[in-house]
Structure 1
Amino acid sequence: MKSTVKLIVAVAVIAAAVAAGYWWGMQSSAITKDKLSEALSSNKKILYYRNPMGLPDTSPVPKKDSMGMDYLPVYEGEEPPSDSPVVKISSEKIQKLGVRTEVATLRELIRTVRAVATVQVNERQLYSVTPKFEGWIQRLYVNSTGQSVKKGEALMEVYSPELITAQHEYLIARRGVHHGELHHGNEGGLEVSASMARLAESALQRLRNWDISETELQRLRQEGKVSQSFIFRSRTKGVVLEKPSIEGKRFMPGETLYQIADLSSVWVLADVFEQDLGLIQPGQKTTIRVDAYPDKIFNGEVAFIYPTITPETRTAIVRIVLPNPDGLLKPAMYARVEFASIPSKDKVLTIPDSAVLDTGIRRVVLVDLGAGRFEPRTVKLGMHADGYAEVLGGLKAGEAVVVKANFLIDAESNFKSALSSFEQSTQDSTAHEQKTEPGLQAEKSSPMRHRGEGTIKAIDFAHATVTLAHSPIASLQWPAMVMDFRLLEPALLQSLKPGQQINFEITEESAGEFVIVHIQPADASPADRSHRGH
């Protein structure tokens, strides 16, 4: 009995819902037809069509919802009041500004780590010519820094009383050995011969310990004459990095007379920010570029990750060993390193970097609602890669955001003034901003931007990044250094070139990651600066 009653009640509810839906649909259709007739008679312009059930979705063309009800037209002057800070732009202005949108989509982000670096001498192929005895330089065969030398090549000729004494000891001992051999039948002669042999070997070993080459020792054995000077030869091929030696100079044991480096391989030391260290591992492939050879790519592998962080820059040094058979890479060269990409584990919601407006406090995008309406919306971003940013909150897949023409909201303007530039009526836009954006003036005065000056070392238009050699930034307690920065607005790069002196402003986009929000030549006139700011 109870089950029968429940069934009857359920059927009654369903029937009532169907009837209500049918009635609402008929009413909506009637309302739509009545309003359409009224609009045609009064020549009102239809702005867009709204959902008949009061949902927020709209359409620029007539359509039906899932229940078959017609969307309701909204005419000029009949826009419903709204508390949301929606920006309205005429179609003419959209076309004039060149507004372009892109849909937020799921994609696999491939994170690429880039870093600035310097070329350094391979420490394992660095040699010093350091005598172990006292003497004087009589002649230099290699007499300039930067000169290339071969293994075994003569470097200098030296005079040393200690070397002469050691030669005399060897020759006397060798004659003693010879004399003992002539009297080998005499027991005393054999003992003398053995003693002289030990003395001769001791004298030779002393000369070897002093790094006298086997060539010089062989000459001493063959000629049997004391040489007043000896020639120092290079133990390896390489390039002379230091040459404090000069002819006639007196040197002491342990004094460096030459420093020679084998540059057939070099080290590239990259400064990697600590938030990127988790993406770096030994053996990882890298591509390296230098300004001297922009058309060349050098390939290497991560050899070592240094175990400490530089406190001033929050970076760690990553060492890459590069073969350098042609000697193109020179110590102290600047380089740009790109580490092999690491794809994200799953597809993530993304938007183009150019869609993001950074106020210094929050990150905002303009969502296209259709019919010339744009809603500024705060978003939470994650990783950046290949010109796209991961969206962690604030957007849904399929929503369209403005990716071009939002550069009108630049580093010198706050968000409120930017919204007013989109309004067709200055009076309406001012009232709208006072209602919906009361906190934006505070954002303008927020001390979150850091100013600096420096020189452009390189520009990467493909990734909207610039390499700067900047002066110390006091507000961040940064020393002068060379760093890569990403620009929030790639269009700012068009007027820049390597070697240019610039002033810039940066904000912290995420923990330890700073981006440029404003950049201009250091010699820009006040008019230029005013133009750039607006």
Structure 2
Amino acid sequence: MNKNILYIGIAVIVGLLGGWLIFGNSGSDANANKDLSDMSDSHDHSGETASQMWTCSMHPQIMQPEAGDCPICGMDLIPAESGAEGLAVNEIKMTENAMALANIQTTVVGSGTISEDDGMISLSGKIATNEENNSVQASYFDGRIERLNVNFEGQKVNRGQLLATIYAPNLVAAQQELITTASLKESQPALYKAVRNKLKNWKLSESQINAIESSGKVRDNFPVYATVSGTVSMVMAAEGDYVKQGQPILKVSNLNSVWAEFDAYENHISELKKGQKIKVMTNAYPNKEFDAAVSFIDPILNNATRTVIVRATLKNTDDIFKPGMFVTGKIQGTMDMNETLLTVPASAVMWTGERSLVYLKTNPNEPIFEMREVTIGNRNGDSYTITKGLQNGDEIVTNGTFTVDAAAQLQGKKSMMNKRMEDDKMMAMTDMEMKLPAAFQTDFKKALVPYLKMKDAFVASDAGQVSAFAKATLKELKSIDKSSSDQMVSQHHTKSMEMLEAIVSNDDLKSQRSHFVILNENMVAITMNIDNAGEILYVQKCPMANNNKGAVWLSSEKVILNPYYGDAMLSCGSVIEEIK
């Protein structure tokens, strides 16, 4: 009995403990879940969703608030990083992390007065032989070289030194004539004198001629002597060669004076003039400076390097300078020594061949940058002078410039490779005002009818139809009376006809499309100046056409049907102008 009561008591206690553990924890979980629910309710995610933007990997300038297709190429959009608010159209903002990882550094631009060193123009070049002192040692008669005494470049020769021995059949016959006429010199002095003169013309000396006459013996081989002293710069014959009269055997350079030829960029040309003093230095003698003067400035610019040759003549009696040796020159420019200028480190400037660019920090408290085009002056060591584009106190990127440019390019902003404030050609077309006579406008509208059909043929990639409609468009343009039109209109009209003729005469679709690019540049320019086109026309553009330079065309429909790619990329493009 007592045992049963004890077991029952233990069972009650265990049951109560188990119930507390189960229901107590459930209550805590419920409270925890309630707390989480409250936190979820109180935290608003709408801001995160609203700020998410979508972009195209090939056209980063596209930014849309929701997922979809790229309006230019049709590719799926990808999530883009949230853009910084309050930025100008071509400003970019970088994170502090990105700045630190790329080691991006900035410097405040300061002005100063031009010192003598700042006015110096640094040039690089090479030592060349003085062509005024070059001479050629030639054979004076036909023959075979039996022995060549000077046979390698760099060998020094002196005037009167034996250069070669030549077997000359004609000279053998002339010697026999001399011996024969020597016995007749009293009776036929004119004949005797003529034979001697023939030998003199072959550069035989008086002593040689007298020796032949007195000995009465004919020599088979004749020597050739050096007429100048110098260094052999080229061997132009070998032993055993048959040479003609006047044929070069050796080229000899006198290195007592040499030329220092420097390459000067075209922005330095205005500061150079003949007679200017120039200091020449070479790595072979790093602690020496040699004084010279500019003796020649090439009047022709090298199109490939955009440089001109600037030459100075150097004395070389001690044989210091060797042809081919690299040299540097410093020449004082003509800028005013009292002028103030801005100098920036060379690492800050990006040069594209046409433009010089820097990145300006537009906000002193935040890493916000914008590309700026500048005009550079002279380079002095590791710095450039800036003549236009910056002001005293501007802060620019001096280390990591290309990293900033890459970030701008990825965000579709103006950059070194993407000069995209607006399309230059489109801006030119918009700003180009032309006076079109009423009769010209009426006739030009007729040409637009077959033009639009030609555009559709390009969309269909039908070269035959393209040629047919191009011919019809050309016929309409030829019928236009442009006598009362201004010169600009006439030029666009003429260029349009040239391109149409090229399209008509060509059955290669790729070639037709290349001419279609130039045709459209002219047709669009005229169409945008028509008072009433009769219907709405759309100027459309594909940024990938024309080798990624972009190309435009006219369409009567707003929907994009790309004539430059056809089915390969039918929807690539966008409407950039509407002509009503």
> What residue is the counterpart of 1:409 in the other structure?
400
Match of 2:391 among 392, 395, 417: 395
Match of 1:383 among 377, 380, 392: 377
After TM superposition, give the deviation of residue 375 of structure 1 in Å: 8.0
After TM superposition, give the deviation of residue 135 of structure 1 in Å: 1.6
Q: Which has the higher contact order (CA 8 A, sep 6+)?
A: 1
User: 1:355–1:401: 8 Å Cα contact kept in structure 2?
Assistant: no
TM-score by length of 2: 0.47
> What residue is the counterpart of 1:235 in the other structure?
227
Match of 1:311 among 294, 303, 306: 303
- Structure with bigger gyration radius: 2
List per-residue Cα deviations over 1:408-467 (Å, max 9, x = no partner). 5331234878xxxxxxxxxxxxxxxxxxxx99642358357xxxxxxxxxxxxxxxxxxx
Residue 135 of structure 2 is aligned to residue 149 of structure 1: no
> What residue is the counterpart of 1:258 in the other structure?
250
> What residue is the counterpart of 1:327 in the other structure?
319
Structure 2 CA distance, aligned partners of 1:250 and 1:358? 58
Structure 2 CA distance, aligned partners of 1:139 and 1:325? 32
Residue 165 of structure 2 is aligned to residue 165 of structure 1: no
Structure 1 CA distance, aligned partners of 2:134 and 2:390? 56
- The DSSP-based 3-state class of the residue aligned with 1:176 is coil
User: 1:149–1:238: 8 Å Cα contact kept in structure 2?
Assistant: yes
Structure 2 vs 1, CA of residues 229 and 288 (structure 1 numbering), >3 Å: closer, same or farther?
Answer: same
> What residue is the counterpart of 2:501 in the other structure?
none
Structure 2 vs 1, CA of residues 214 and 391 (structure 1 numbering), >3 Å: closer, same or farther?
Answer: same
List per-residue Cα deviations over 1:65-121 (Å, max 9, x = no partner). xxxxxxxxxxxxxxxx9989999999xx99xx9989666234126443333323322
After TM superposition, give the deviation of residue 311 of structure 1 in Å: 1.9
- The DSSP-based 3-state class of the residue aligned with 1:325 is coil
Structure 2 CA distance, aligned partners of 1:257 and 1:86? 68
> What residue is the counterpart of 1:442 in the other structure?
413
After TM superposition, give the deviation of residue 260 of structure 1 in Å: 1.7
List per-residue Cα deviations over 1:457-512 (Å, max 9, x = no partner). xxxxxxxxxxxxxxxxxxxxxxxxxxxxxxxxxxxxxxxxxxxxxxxxxxxxxxxx
User: 1:351–1:391: 8 Å Cα contact kept in structure 2?
Assistant: no
CA-atom RMSD, angstroms? 4.1
Structure 1 CA distance, aligned partners of 2:308 and 2:105? 42
Residue 261 of structure 2 is aligned to residue 269 of structure 1: yes
User: 1:114–1:339: 8 Å Cα contact kept in structure 2?
Assistant: yes
> What residue is the counterpart of 1:470 in the other structure?
none
Residue 339 of structure 2 is aligned to residue 344 of structure 1: no
User: 1:264–1:327: 8 Å Cα contact kept in structure 2?
Assistant: yes
Please, which runs of 5 or more residues in structure 1 have no aligned partner? 1-80, 181-191, 418-437, 449-534
TM-score by length of 1: 0.50
After TM superposition, give the deviation of residue 236 of structure 1 in Å: 0.7
Residue 102 of structure 2 is aligned to residue 108 of structure 1: no
Match of 1:119 among 127, 141, 148: 127
> What residue is the counterpart of 2:18 in the other structure?
none
User: 1:265–1:321: 8 Å Cα contact kept in structure 2?
Assistant: yes
Bigger mean CA offset, 349-358 vs 104-113: 349-358
> What residue is the counterpart of 1:363 in the other structure?
358
Richer in helix (by share): 2
Structure 2 vs 1, CA of residues 237 and 222 (structure 1 numbering), >3 Å: closer, same or farther?
Answer: farther
- The DSSP-based 3-state class of the residue aligned with 1:172 is helix
After TM superposition, give the deviation of residue 347 of structure 1 in Å: 1.4
Whichever residue aligns with residue 417 of structure 2, its letter is S
User: 1:266–1:322: 8 Å Cα contact kept in structure 2?
Assistant: yes
> What residue is the counterpart of 1:28 in the other structure?
none
Whichever residue aligns with residue 233 of structure 2, its letter is L
Richer in strand (by share): 1
Structure 1 CA distance, aligned partners of 2:350 and 2:144? 68
> What residue is the counterpart of 1:353 in the other structure?
345
> What residue is the counterpart of 1:204 in the other structure?
196
User: 1:357–1:409: 8 Å Cα contact kept in structure 2?
Assistant: no
Q: How many residues align?
A: 321
Structure 1 CA distance, aligned partners of 2:394 and 2:390? 12
Please, which runs of 5 or more residues in structure 2 have no aligned partner? 1-84, 420-580
Structure 2 vs 1, CA of residues 105 and 413 (structure 1 numbering), >3 Å: closer, same or farther?
Answer: closer
Bigger mean CA offset, 144-153 vs 288-297: 288-297
Question: Counterparts of 1:290-309 in structure 2 under 5 Å?
Answer: 290-309=282-301
After TM superposition, give the deviation of residue 296 of structure 1 in Å: 4.0
Whichever residue aligns with residue 123 of structure 1, its letter is E
